Amino acid sequence: MTDMPTASVPARALKARPATTAPRVLLAEDDAEMRALLASTFRSHRYEVIEARDGRELLDRLTDAMADGRRVDCIVTDVLMPRLTGTEALRSIRNAGMVIPVVVITAFGDHATRIDAWLLGAVAVLDKPFDTEDLLRELRRMGIGPVQGGA
């Protein structure tokens, strides 16, 4: 059994997103092309994006955002990444008492991976390859949609 890293993220209530601000997604994906595609898709649909290359960076970006008083409305994370997997990062976030919707994306969507993700509170698990519209639909289903109106 390996020691699980712990997040230094404070366990405080998350700020609600004002209706006039863009939803902020924390995206963790180790494949640079996939990360760029997803980030571009989110931005083109008026989401703000914080990018991370692995689970460790995901925790660092989340900690930085919280320390700066910036909310994170949703996390989208790959499972298999270097340094710290998406599942390990999700476990650290939950152990820190944080309640943030998480969508897990994986190329290895076996039954055990899905169960682990759901037991840790993931709201959805999408198998790669997936249609980006399916991911956007999951966010909208959770009430995390882009700001209406404006350009």
Cβ pair 29, 104 in contact under 8 A: no
Q: What is the pLDDT of residues 30-58, one digit of tens each?
A: 999 999 999 999 999 999 999 999 999 99
pTM, to two decimals: 0.84
Domains annotated for the chain, with CATH where assigned, are 24-140 (3.40.50.2300)
Say how far apart CA 27 and CA 109 lie, in whole Å: 18
Q: Which two tokens stand for residue 86?
A: 């998406």
pLDDT at 62: 97
Q: Give the model's confidence band at 101: pLDDT under 50 very low, under 70 low, under 90 confident, else very high.
A: very high
More confident residue, 148 or 103: 103
